[in-house]
Structure 1
Amino acid sequence: MYSFTMVKSNPIFALTMQFLYPYFLWALVALTIPVIIHLFYFKRFKKVYFSNVRYLKEIKEETSNRNKIKELLILLSRLLAFACLIFAFAQPFIPKGEKIKQGLPLVSIFIDNSFSMTSEKEDIPLLDYAKEKALKIVDSYGEEGKFQIITHDLLGKHQRLLSKEDAVAYIEEIRFTALVQPLSKITARQNQLFKEEEGDKSFYHISDFQKSIFDYENVKDSVGEINLLPVQTAQLQNISIDSVWMDNHVAMMQQPNNLLVKMTNHAPQTTEQVRISILIDGQEKPIRVGDFEAGSTMIDTIPVVLKSRGAHKITLKISDYPVQFDDEYHVALHVPDTIIALNIYEGAPNKYLTALFEGLPYFGLKNQPFNQIQYQEFSKYNLIIIQDVSNITSGLSSELSKYIREGGKVLLFPSVDNNPVSYNTFLNSLNAGRLELKPNSGIEVSRINTEEFIFKDVYNKIQSNITLPKANKSFQIQNSSRNAGEPILTNRDGSLFMCKYTYEDGLLYLCASSLSENVNNLVLNAEIFVPMLYKMAISGVGQKKIAFTITNKSIIEIKNTGVGGDNVYSMKGENEFIPGQKRLGNKVLLDVGDQVKKAGFYDIMNGDQVLESVAFNYDRLESDMKLLTSDEMEENLGENRLGIHIISETEQNDMTNTISAKDKGISLWKYFLLAVLLFLMVETLLIRLWRTSS
């Protein structure tokens, strides 16, 4: 690399002019030829005799001097013109950074293909603009360059280096995606591919740069410089349905199932006449029409009555334009055929318990004697009740623990004549509390925990004359330091009458007294007993997901219905595919991966049988359409910007020169060509306008 250094008065400031093709500078030697010719050129004169040559001699000397000056100026103009032409061919430049890129170009181009890029600029989607700019970037590099083309999809094929021709083909194939990644994650994937490669590495991010994904503060290191190319249009207004959930754990038939709908108006002004509607199994029903205040979020409750058992596909809709990907939210509800509880008893089954379940529609109870337990059927039941069993055997303890671990619920009423060792051994296996007989065993409940799911929303207001349970004989529940029980019913002395323990995926409900009406009048108190058993039967650690977001990490949990566990499950919706499958006990985890591309409903199939339906929705990360301006991006990046550069729209219009200036510095060859023209013009003017005598 050949260079000239130009130093100003401040010794700290220095510019170094370098040449891309320095071997052209050898042509400067040829400039000596016209100089030599000029020095050895002797003009011939014809002799003319005069009687007096004194005046002629003065004229001759003056003319000769003027001719010499003119010839020297013409020669100098030609020399400078040719010198500038030679410099232009040598491609001079002034580097911008300390390091000049001279190795193999390694270029990674991220193209934002999320739904926000459907916005149009002059009736053309922003994605098309982004692809056009990506093609210009590729075209700005030579055939020796290697390229990575990456999008929000983060597909496996994105983690490979491409030739220039293949990169162009990849760019032309890019389509919109439901997936959205933060830009720090995109940078991490670029670093992952390039960290072991040798060459000059450059990253380009072409995006509308929504505030929601602009998180370069999480980029701690980068193996290549990052160049940001904003592709933006006017800020769009948007109203989104953010999420929908149930206030209950199980959807019930012929009863109001409350759906809570969270919506946000991202616009800076009130939006009028927003229409909300609901589709239940394809039948649309209007909910309401109203105004939506600027920048506000609201949660609306929509009661849904389901008239049959099985799967129900429900879609919430709002009227909004132009951003529409988040105007619908799909949920899948499942009404079970029957909620069945198992009562394991010793002696005789409790008649009040049996009558309660017989009186609840869609509920059932199976009474099973302690000496005839069928462990293999435990997974069929929504709730297992242990009624006054004197001894919890090791076999029963083991099976109950397994049942709870896998998401089951157990309600334990200890016998007053129990073996405390067996009970406490079982409780200890669940990290629950201990049972100790109270010295003064008479207790009376004084408080109902209406914040806990069991009694939440059961009473509008607890009346002062409500009858609360009493027991003439009870146990003291000593909480474990590892797992404090959550109180459900509390005695006057502050001790627990009924509490809940969470263990892995399941629940244990523990009562401090027997279920026998001779000991405990709980079964006689319908205001407490009926809603308590009902809510326990439909409760759970986590509500079954009624909707999923389209990502690469969706895992669906279903029951394993196969004999021997060898079933292969498939999913059918907008497309049909076989998800990844992992069996854990009586459960199967279905890994959807990146196979769901479009929002909607997908049926989980076992052969031709539909087991259940699941709903998928687009990610709401981009619902807030706030775009960052270049100034806001600069402010956001701050001082710790790790070599991140923002390429302006003007620079984007000439990407070839922008990239050349970025990689090689400030190119000077154009200025030298202008100098060539200038010196040739000077030569022409000297010849035409400077008249001299011969």
Structure 2
Amino acid sequence: MEFKQPELLYALFLLLIPLAIHLFQLRRFQKEDFTNVKFLKKLIRQTRKSSRLKKWLVLTTRMLMLAFLVFAFAQPYFPAEDPEASSNEKVVFLDNSYSMQATGQNGELFATAIQDLIKSLPENKEISLFTHNDEFQNLSAEELTAELQNLDFTENPLDLNALLLKANQLFNASTNEKDLIFISDFQRNLGLEKQLDSTTNHHFIPLVPESTQNISIDSLFINNREANEISLQVLLSSTSPYAESLSIAMYNGEELLAKTAVNFKEDISAEAEFKINTEEIPNGILRIEDAGLEYDNSLFFSFNKPKPARVVIITENADATFLNRILTFPEFNTEIFTIDQLDFNKLNNADIVILNELESISGALQTNLKNIHSNAVPLVIVPSANNNLNAYNNFLNRLNAPLFTEFHSKETLITELFFGHPLLQGVFKEKVENFDYPKVQTYYSIQNAINIISFQNNSGFLVEGNGVFLFSAALNNENSNFRNSPLIVPVFYNIGAGTLRNPKLYYETGKDIEIKIPLQTQQDKVVHLLSKTEDFIPRQRSLDDNTEINTNGLDITSGNYSLEYNNENKGHLSFNSSRSESELEYNIPKQTENIRIHTNIGAYFEELKVASQSNELWKSFIIFALIFLFVEMLLLKFFK
């Protein structure tokens, strides 16, 4: 125990005064015996003893009363356990990732944390606070309360390294004693394995949900696409076994497109398929009803009306119009050029190129074909009966493609089909044994290739290698009846359909994404990315007849957006946040030398208050003084 004014303790010497007075009053009386009063001796002796006891008791209570008054004015106290605790610079981190939507004992974890902070913030003390996407430096309790009430969840949470770096930037560089108060559910993906700075006192306040049951829409992709129908596959997951069926609905804006129910398997996953008869879904939304996290109950997507694949056919003396009847609009935009009238601009923008019975390939054409092949544009080569093999093989060597070898002048049946190849998958309901086989009169042997369709001698008729589809025989009517075979339509159609790349239904927020849009722009006009509440102008550049936009630096939130150019709609894009927050797996830290764990926010600030405040005792001494004054009054009045 210590005293704020210890010099007042000298007043205790004043207690000698009542002691001296009391001793003076307790002088001895002389005894005098009288006759006929002997019967009073016993009574007088008892009265004298009672009087002496009363005076000693009064003296004791009086001196104790005065002593406690002196102690009270000297202001005794027990010193604080940690007097520097309140003066340490404090930075608070409040986790506002989507996993904080989970429900705890008092409701949503994030909302509860905000309310506890508002109740517990110390007055007359400035504190810095930051979240994954906001920061507030040196604010009073009143100012911080106003900011806390406006906080919301973030689409893109930071990892532990970025959070610690952000905290260090908020601390004053000249401060020696630093307290970092970390309020979070400590989800496993936060990465607490990192070694923490030993110069900072870390106070961790874990917020634990009551239940980790959560169902989320994980992903959506195109399973199959036809002219007027798309098949969409949805993947869902649950953090724990879920026995009941779950309803899932698909909307285009507010219009309900389809609805179905799914059942989860033992591996806590489920799938759903939607077949939609539409060419375009600009504002697609998938929704489920789940009591877990809210953000992953919806998934935004958009399906733009597909543009036809650009097919360029280069021919010399052979008829190629049969390909026009296979690769038709709206899936394909097919153009046929003779070798001497070739439009190189259209060639360079083609999605698929077919060389139909060219006798040779010029150097300029080879260079252009190699460039577009390097951009993953497939090439289909139908040889002529009079091929210049050296010229062809030099070109094929540059593409690292299969090579022509020996020429054969012998009628040969086309009999073998590789049903497992993507070109032939779904063409036949079952393997065909009895088939009206087509035939050729002449053909070339091909080496180093994967056979898709083969002759009866197992030599390849249609082969594939490194993005090049190579026929070993000319397809004109004089050399082959393959044009009249039922195989020709699925073969060429499926080769062309391979270029109909399924569009990206949505992108992930917070990523640096480059998106190519089939749009020609002028230098003085830009593409806008619009939602109901936002208008972004992304970084963009023109690439021939395309425009490439980049989402770097844009604070895009989940939702459906439209692409606007020159006040006209040019397409739709959708964005969704990462589903990593849906896992609800936690890594609660353990208490170490520079990590202290607190049960809740209020407990931390109460501990801080207790540790930093001294225990004042003067009120207790005043109370004891009053008690002894009261006892003295009782003794004087009732003790005889």
Do both share a fold (TM > 0.5)? yes
Q: Percent identity?
A: 15
Q: Does 1:147 find its partner at 2:105? A: no
Q: Does 1:562 find its partner at 2:531? A: no
Query: Deviations for 1:295-333, whole angstroms, at most 9, x for unmatched residues?
Result: 732222222222x5x665544444556765444433322
Q: Tell me how far apart the structure 2 counterparts of residues 500 and 75 of structure 1 sit (CA, whole Å).
A: 107
The aligned counterpart of 2:464 is 499
Please state how far the C-alpha of 1:205 moved relative to its aligned partner: 3.9
Task: Say which is worse superposed, 582-591 or 30-39, in terms of deviation.
Answer: 30-39
Query: Deviations for 1:546-596, whole angstroms, at most 9, x for unmatched residues?
Result: 1234x2226352335335565410122323413322326344123175444
Please state how far the C-alpha of 1:404 moved relative to its aligned partner: 4.0
Tell me the TM-score normalised to structure 1 length: 0.72
User: Does the Cα contact within 8 Å between 1:444 and 1:470 map onto a contact in 2?
Assistant: yes
- Number of aligned residues: 616
Q: Tell me how far apart the structure 1 counterparts of residues 108 and 396 of structure 2 sit (CA, whole Å).
A: 62
The aligned counterpart of 1:372 is 341
User: Does the Cα contact within 8 Å between 1:105 and 1:141 map onto a contact in 2?
Assistant: no
Instruction: Name the CA shift for 1:690/1:478 in 2 (closer, same or farther; >3 Å).
Output: farther
Please state how far the C-alpha of 1:278 moved relative to its aligned partner: 3.5
Superposed counterparts of 1:68-217, under 5 Å = 85-88=75-78, 91-93=79-81, 105-112=89-96, 114=98, 117=101, 126-136=109-119, 139-140=121-122, 142-143=124-125, 145-151=126-132, 154=133, 158=134, 161-164=137-140, 166-177=143-154, 179-181=155-157, 184=160, 187-188=163-164, 190-191=166-167, 193-194=169-170, 197-199=173-175, 200-207=177-184, 209=185, 211=187, 215-217=190-192
Query: Deviations for 1:137-177, whole angstroms, at most 9, x for unmatched residues?
Result: 5x32744x3513214xx2xxx35634336533322221345
The aligned counterpart of 2:365 is 396
Q: Tell me how far apart the structure 1 counterparts of residues 426 and 612 of structure 2 sit (CA, whole Å).
A: 74
SS at match of 1:133: helix
User: Does the Cα contact within 8 Å between 1:346 and 1:388 map onto a contact in 2?
Assistant: yes
Please state how far the C-alpha of 1:534 moved relative to its aligned partner: 1.8
Q: Which amino acid aligns with 1:140?
A: P
The aligned counterpart of 1:9 is none
User: Does the Cα contact within 8 Å between 2:312 and 2:346 map onto a contact in 1?
Assistant: no
Query: Deviations for 1:82-130, whole angstroms, at most 9, x for unmatched residues?
Result: 66x4334xx42158xxxx65865141332426385385977x7554322
The aligned counterpart of 1:435 is 403
The aligned counterpart of 2:490 is 531
Query: Deviations for 1:384-427, whole angstroms, at most 9, x for unmatched residues?
Result: 11234344444333433443455533334455655666656655
Tell me the TM-score normalised to structure 2 length: 0.77
| 1:544 aligned to which of 503, 514, 534 | 503
Q: Tell me how far apart the structure 1 counterparts of residues 172 and 542 of structure 2 sit (CA, whole Å).
A: 39
Q: Does 1:458 find its partner at 2:427? A: yes
Q: CA RMSD in A?
A: 4.8
Q: Tell me how far apart the structure 2 counterparts of residues 219 and 470 of structure 1 sit (CA, whole Å).
A: 69
SS at match of 1:545: coil
The aligned counterpart of 2:40 is none
User: Does the Cα contact within 8 Å between 1:267 and 1:294 map onto a contact in 2?
Assistant: no
Q: Does 1:27 find its partner at 2:1? A: no
Instruction: Name the CA shift for 1:678/1:354 in 2 (closer, same or farther; >3 Å).
Output: same
Q: Which amino acid aligns with 1:658?
A: E
Please state how far the C-alpha of 1:343 moved relative to its aligned partner: 0.6
User: Does the Cα contact within 8 Å between 1:112 and 1:130 map onto a contact in 2?
Assistant: no
Q: Tell me how far apart the structure 1 counterparts of residues 58 and 152 of structure 2 sit (CA, whole Å).
A: 72
Please state how far the C-alpha of 1:341 moved relative to its aligned partner: 1.0
Q: Does 1:658 find its partner at 2:607? A: yes
Structure 1: stretches of 5+ with no match in the other structure? 5-23, 480-485, 502-507
Superposed counterparts of 1:88-487, under 5 Å = 88=78, 91-93=79-81, 105-112=89-96, 114=98, 117=101, 126-136=109-119, 139-140=121-122, 142-143=124-125, 145-151=126-132, 154=133, 158=134, 161-164=137-140, 166-177=143-154, 179-181=155-157, 184=160, 187-188=163-164, 190-191=166-167, 193-194=169-170, 197-199=173-175, 200-207=177-184, 209=185, 211=187, 215-222=190-197, 224-231=200-207, 234-235=210-211, 238-248=214-224, 251-254=225-228, 256-266=229-239, 268-272=241-245, 274-279=246-251, 283-289=255-261, 296-306=268-278, 308=279, 313-320=283-290, 325-336=295-306, 338-357=308-327, 362-378=331-347, 380-406=349-375, 408-413=377-382, 423=392, 426=395, 432-433=400-401, 435=403, 437-438=405-406, 453-466=422-435, 472-474=442-444, 476-478=446-448
Instruction: Name the CA shift for 1:449/1:235 in 2 (closer, same or farther; >3 Å).
Output: farther
Instruction: Name the CA shift for 1:315/1:112 in 2 (closer, same or farther; >3 Å).
Output: closer
Query: Deviations for 1:56-99, whole angstroms, at most 9, x for unmatched residues?
Result: xx98999999888777766765666566x4334xx42158xxxx
Q: Tell me how far apart the structure 2 counterparts of residues 238 and 259 of structure 1 sit (CA, whole Å).
A: 23
Instruction: Name the CA shift for 1:413/1:610 in 2 (closer, same or farther; >3 Å).
Output: same
Q: Tell me how far apart the structure 2 counterparts of residues 441 and 167 of structure 1 sit (CA, whole Å).
A: 89
Please state how far the C-alpha of 1:347 moved relative to its aligned partner: 2.7
User: Does the Cα contact within 8 Å between 1:341 and 1:384 map onto a contact in 2?
Assistant: yes
| 1:582 aligned to which of 511, 533, 540 | 540
The aligned counterpart of 1:45 is 24
User: Does the Cα contact within 8 Å between 2:414 and 2:439 map onto a contact in 1?
Assistant: yes
Q: Tell me how far apart the structure 2 counterparts of residues 420 and 397 of structure 1 sit (CA, whole Å).
A: 14
Please state how far the C-alpha of 1:604 moved relative to its aligned partner: 0.8
Please state how far the C-alpha of 1:349 moved relative to its aligned partner: 3.8
The aligned counterpart of 1:8 is none
User: Does the Cα contact within 8 Å between 2:104 and 2:210 map onto a contact in 1?
Assistant: no
SS at match of 1:161: strand
Q: Which amino acid aligns with 2:311?
A: A
Task: Say which is worse superposed, 103-112 or 68-77, in terms of deviation.
Answer: 68-77
Q: Tell me how far apart the structure 1 counterparts of residues 113 and 485 of structure 2 sit (CA, whole Å).
A: 67
Q: Tell me how far apart the structure 2 counterparts of residues 429 and 687 of structure 1 sit (CA, whole Å).
A: 116
